[in-house]
Amino acid sequence: MTLALREMRRRPGRFGIATVILTLIAILLMFLGGLLDGLVASSTGAFRSQRADALVYSASSRNSLERSRIEPEVRRQVESVPGVTRVGGLGSVQLGGRVPGRGTRDLVPTVLFGYELAPRGLPPTPPATGTVYADDSLRAKNVVVGTTIRLGSARSAVTVVGFVSDTRYTGQGTLWGSLETWRQVLNANRPDARVGPGVVQALVVQGGPLGRAGLPERIDRATGGATRTLTITHAVNALPGVAQQRSVFNQIIGVTVVIAIVVVALFFALLTVERTALYGVLKAIGASSRALFAGVVLQAVVVALIASLIGIIASLTLNELIPAGTIPFVATPARLVSSAVVLVVAAVLGCSFSLRRVLRVDPAAAIGGTP
Amino acid sequence: MTTPTESAGTTGPALEMRGITKIYRVADDEVVALDHVDLTVASDEIVALVGPSGSGKTTLCSIAGGLLSPTDGSVAVAGQEISGYSGRQLTEFRRNAVGFVFQTVNLIPFLTARENLLVVDEIGPRLGRAARDRAGQQLEELGLTDRAANLPTQLSGGQKQRVAIGRALMNDPSLVLFDEPTSALDSSLGDQVVRLIRNEMKARGTAAIIVTHDDRITHYADRTVNIEDGRIAQ
Amino acid sequence: MFLALHEMSRARVRFGLLICAVGLLVFLILAQQAIQGGLISGFVGALRQQSAPVLVYSVDGERTLQGSVIDPLLEAKIRGVRGVAEAGWIGQSTFTVRVDGGTESDAALIGYQRAGLGDPGRLSAGRRPVGPTEAVGSVADFTVGSRVRIVPNGPPGATGPTFTVVGLVKDAQIQVTPTLFVPWAGYEAAVKSANPDATTILPSVIGVRPTPGVRDAELVRRINAASPDADALTRSQAASDAPGVAQVQQSFQLIFLLYGLVVPLITGLFFLIITFQKAAALTLLRAVGARSGALVRSLLIQVVLVVGGGIVIGIVLFAPLTLIQLGAITIRFDPGAVLFWSVALLVLGLASAMVAAKRVLAIDPLEATTGAGGL
């Protein structure tokens, strides 16, 4: 169908504006998608990086780490569930950190985690009391190895000994230390949330290869309903706002795709009307409707591909330009490619509205036709 | 479905129409465009089809070229009976067996002269190199080699008609149908075009039907057929 | 007018698709505008609705109620600032609750020590709490008479304090969670039941009222000057400077910009193309005496009908959304926003048609005779 391509090359103006509009829509799809991905990534990093099969909350915590409390007896019950190989405690506290070199009122929001079973990227034994690993995102806040951060109103000091990537929680940079570090900092800064010895907020559980199936249910049974256990994936989705963000954004993206289909349908409807005489002549000299329509589809695909390409470049540029910590936008290859695919499919669907009109062109009208 | 491979020297007639009737329904009325028309065109004959507007000459031409199906009667082009063909079969027939030169819109506006000739190959057999060679030959014969890369807007009326004729011959047809080829041209240019048509048709031994009311064409044709009110005048 | 409508009825598919596209875009813009408003209101509505004109956080709290703690030393400094007429404790925590014996859900409690400093300024129904077991709830989540029981940590079936909702307030959520305003004693009881290990319950912020004659902003300045640990904000600042609010607004700003651009581009493209397509007919009309102005007016009428039609469709699609709740976010029909976008899109649509209008004005009626009027 070089005829279709040649028309686009020789008449770029006519396809230019449609390409601009589809490019805007491509940018919208990629921006919305990237915003969603960024929001979700920054909320869920700490959990996604857990090397575990299940996360155990207390029953009344409503899957909220901050409200959950696991006492030592409950932990013992969990440890004795058949199929459970390793159990580690997890605790968190959200505090403002003072980093040297920043103003006294210029606090860095952080979440300090105490862990036993190491997430991805962290050493198997937690660092010594008073030392922590910092999430990569904190590098943007003047944090380097050796920085001592003072947390909370008690100015609890923790020293950074290394970095780990993609472990953010609820949009904030995280610090990872031992349970003892966590307990000390929590009790010093949050008297109303203080925990006794041996108490943690949640348990991270590993089951051996035979023990994974049905693990959450078995754990909850063993504790007599005092716990609510979720698989890690489930726990990630249950983090505040994640499921809702996904649903709202996906609906907006869905409507935008419908708009793309309508725009392409509109544009090609206009174009086909103009080409009636041309199609008449082509049909008269023996071109089949199928061949002509294939040309239309090809044009729609090319426009969508060009729009997607520009959209991808724009998204990557946006990724560079947006200062870290403002808009939570991230441009992942999966999102960019899937947006492009969706746009191409929408373009094909949109131009198929013109199929009937192409079929209806009567070659006999080419003879003796008016200009 | 057989396609004729040689048009020169084929013994059978290029066109044989018997008892062709075409009736249109317009609102509550019936319009009889053609009424039991018989027409035979020999394999290398040029026939001028003359008649006033509304006489049915365009309809006749359309049926001969496989653009329309008759209500009744039989049409055979180079031995191929097409009156019962489906839309798809007619499309393939037009692609392989006939050529058209229309009155107005002939050329594709965004293609050069050479590309307009090659369109026929693209929608059809896709011979590639062979088609390009043939197009080059055609352009040379028509005196358009130096205009090969020009768009229709850059060609004169006469040049455009020559390109149209070249394109009509690209698929080596058994029959070429011309619809008022000189109506938009002045007298000397029209004369040139008509002479060109005759030369090209005779050189290949290809049959042609030329719909016209221009006397010069009847002069260059082998035979004139008059049509009025849907009937051939004897 | 006649010409404009006539053409539209002859080309129903094209104009239909265009109005459809504009309608969907308007719907998306209005929906997102409402989501943005609902989201921000869900985050900080309670801050806007509570009665203290000045809120003093601890700097470590980073302007979140839940993160801020005021210790007695800081409190003393705040109370000692010149211009403080009244000060009261305000605390905030989130709990697991059962409403009227139903399934477990979330609720944020805001405890206030003094009436007029931390409780809602204006109720939409009911009355204010009298005792420690009464509460005022966010109107989207509670009804008057609801009984809300705190579910504490501990063995299943353990009971915490129960609150009875006696009043309701609009747009008063915090952290997009159902919210209850309770007197301090009730708040303290709830916190202790959820964490038995807790020792002292300290306030999250201090709500302050300035003495007559001292402006809120001035008092904020004085308090911040009195201690580097104090982070005083006026009520409206506390809402707008809360973390996440600026982020939400910035993200949506960009989204609105892009969607807003798509609308005039589509209408501009459409009208330009059809103007080219009917150039021959327009030339003919000019040749037989139609005035340029009349043809342009016909074009603009079509633009108004198309954009107007799209706006109507968009509003019709959007209105039912305001009856449901997206999770905990309340979608509100804001006539001001709807009016703003209607006017803005209409103006943008007309502006985009200027290119087509220019083309119409450039038509030379003489071309009708040469047949060069077509393109």
Higher per-residue pLDDT: B8 or A49: A49
DSSP B107: S
The span from the CA of B7 to the CA of B206, in Å, is 6
CA B148, distance to chain mean position in Å, is: 22
**Average per-residue pLDDT for chain C:** 89
Q: What is the pLDDT of residue B217?
A: 78
For residue A241, which amino acid is it? Answer: G
Is 70 exceeded by the pLDDT of residue A30? yes
Q: What is the pLDDT of residue C340?
A: 94
For chain C, give the number of residues: 375
3 state DSSP class of C275: helix
Whether residue B174 lies within 8 A of chain A, CB to CB, comes out as no
pLDDT band for C198, please (50, 70, 90 cuts).
confident
**For A249-276, what is each residue's pLDDT tens digit?**
998 999 999 999 998 998 888 888 888 8
Q: What are phi and psi of A126, to 5 degrees?
A: -60, 150
Whether residue C231 lies within 8 A of chain A, CB to CB, comes out as yes
pTM for the full model? Answer: 0.83
Mean pLDDT over C125-152 rounds to 93
Nearest Cα neighbor of A204 from A21, A54, A72, A362 is A54
Mapping DSSP onto H, E and C, the string for chain A reads CHHHHHHHHHCHHHHHHHHHHHHHHHHHHHHHHHHHHHHHHHHHHHHHCCCCCEEEEEHHHCCCHHHCCECHHHHHHHHCCCCEEEEEEEEEEEEEEECCCCCCCCCEEEEEEEECCCCCCCCCCCCCCCEEEEEHHHHHHCCCCCCEEEECCCCEEEEEEEEECCCCECCEEEEEEEHHHHHHHHHHHCHHHCCCCCCECEEEEEECCCCCCCHHHHHHHHCCCCEEEEEHHHHHHHCCCHHHHHHHHHHHHHHHHHHHHHHHHHHHHHHHHHCHHHHHHHHHCCCCHHHHHHHHHHHHHHHHHHHHHHHHHHHHHHHHHCCCCCCCCCCCHHHHHHHHHHHHHHHHHHHHHHHHHHHHCCHHHHCCCCC
**Sole residue written with tokens 């036709």:** A369
CA distances to A298, B147, B196 from B112, in Å: 21, 9, 21
Q: C-alpha angle with apex B46: B94 to B104, nearest 5 degrees?
A: 55
Domain coordinates of chain A in residue numbers? Answer: 2-44+242-366, 89-206
Residue B94 lies in a domain: yes
User: Looking at CA atoms only, how far is residue B124 from chain A in angstroms?
Assistant: 8
**Average per-residue pLDDT for chain A:** 90
Nearest Cα neighbor of C166 from C152, C186, C151 is C186
Q: What is the pLDDT of residue B3?
A: 46
| Contact call for A288 and B67, based on CB within 8 A | no
Q: Show the tokens assigned to A30.
A: 């990629």
**Among A67, A104, A371, whose Cβ lies nearest the Cβ of C194?**
A67
Percent of chain A surpassing pLDDT 70: 98
Tell me the ipTM for this assembly: 0.84
Mean pLDDT over A88-107 rounds to 90
Is 60 exceeded by the pLDDT of residue A1? no
Mean pLDDT over C280-288 rounds to 82
Q: What is the pLDDT of residue C374?
A: 41
Is 60 exceeded by the pLDDT of residue C22? yes
Please name the residues in contact with C153: beta carbons below 8 A apart, sequence gap of 6 or more.
A58, A60, A61, A67, A68, A69, C194, C195, C196
Residue B146 lies in a domain: yes
pLDDT band for A348, please (50, 70, 90 cuts).
very high
Query: What CATH number has the domain bearing residue B190?
Result: 3.40.50.300
Please list, residue by residue across A148-180, b when 16 or more beta carbons sit within 10 angstroms of its beta carbon and e when fewer do.
ebbbbbbebebebbebbebbbbbbbbbbbbbbe
The count of structural domains within chain B is 1
DSSP C89: E
Mapping DSSP onto H, E and C, the string for C322-365 reads HHCEECCEECCCCHHHHHHHHHHHHHHHHHHCHHHHHHHHCCCC
* CB contacts, 8 Å: A226 with chain C: 155-156
Where is B56: in which H helix or E strand? Answer: none
If contacts are CB pairs under 8 Å, which of residues 272-301 in chain C contact chain A? 272-274, 277
Which of C106, C227, C249, C254 to probe the A interface (max A CBs under 10 A)? C254
pLDDT band for C284, please (50, 70, 90 cuts).
confident
CB A180 within 8 A of CB A129: yes
**Among C96, C200, C273, whose Cβ lies nearest the Cβ of A61?**
C96
**Among A21, A25, A105, whose Cβ lies nearest the Cβ of C231?**
A105
| B and A adjacent (3 or more CB pairs under 8 angstroms) | yes
The span from the CA of A10 to the CA of A151, in Å, is 65
Where is B199: in which H helix or E strand? Answer: helix B187-204
Chains in contact with C, where contact requires at least 3 CB pairs less than 8 Å apart: A
DSSP states along B117-157: HHHHHHHTT--THHHHHHHHHHHHHTT-GGGTT--GGGS-H
- Choose the most confident range, by mean pLDDT, from A157-161, A210-214, B167-171: A157-161
Q: What is the pLDDT of residue B7?
A: 45
Q: Show the tokens assigned to A251.
A: 């609906």
Q: What is the pLDDT of residue C370?
A: 65
Is 90 exceeded by the pLDDT of residue C162? yes
pLDDT digit string (tens) for chain B, length 234 residues: 444 444 444 568 999 999 999 998 888 888 899 999 999 999 999 999 998 888 888 899 999 999 989 999 999 999 999 988 998 899 999 999 999 998 877 888 889 999 999 998 888 778 889 999 999 999 998 999 999 999 999 998 889 989 999 999 999 999 999 988 888 778 888 888 888 899 999 988 899 999 987 777 788 899 999 998 888 886
DSSP C114: B
Nearest chain C residue to A324, by CA: C247
pLDDT band for C258, please (50, 70, 90 cuts).
confident
Question: How many CB pairs below 8 A link A and B?
Answer: 89
* CB contacts, 8 Å: A11 with chain B: 110
Nearest chain A residue to B178, by CA: A367
| Contact call for B108 and A282, based on CB within 8 A | yes
Q: Show the tokens assigned to B60.
A: 């006749």
* CB contacts, 8 Å: A282 with chain B: 108, 119, 123
The span from the CA of A76 to the CA of B26, in Å, is 92
Is 70 exceeded by the pLDDT of residue C157? no
pLDDT band for A299, please (50, 70, 90 cuts).
very high
Residue B125 lies in a domain: yes
Q: What is the pLDDT of residue C184?
A: 96
Which of B100, B114, B153, B154 to probe the A interface (max A CBs under 10 A)? B100
**Among C197, C229, C269, whose Cβ lies nearest the Cβ of A21?**
C269
**Among C17, C328, C374, whose Cβ lies nearest the Cβ of A269?**
C17
**For C325-370, what is each residue's pLDDT tens digit?**
776 678 888 899 999 999 999 999 999 999 899 888 888 877 777 6
Domain coordinates of chain C in residue numbers? Answer: 2-43+245-370, 50-235
Q: C-alpha angle with apex B65: B64 to B66, nearest 5 degrees?
A: 95
User: Looking at CA atoms only, how far is residue A9 from chain B in angstroms?
Assistant: 9
**For A220-257, what is each residue's pLDDT tens digit?**
999 998 899 999 999 999 888 788 889 889 989 999 99
CB C98 within 8 A of CB C105: yes
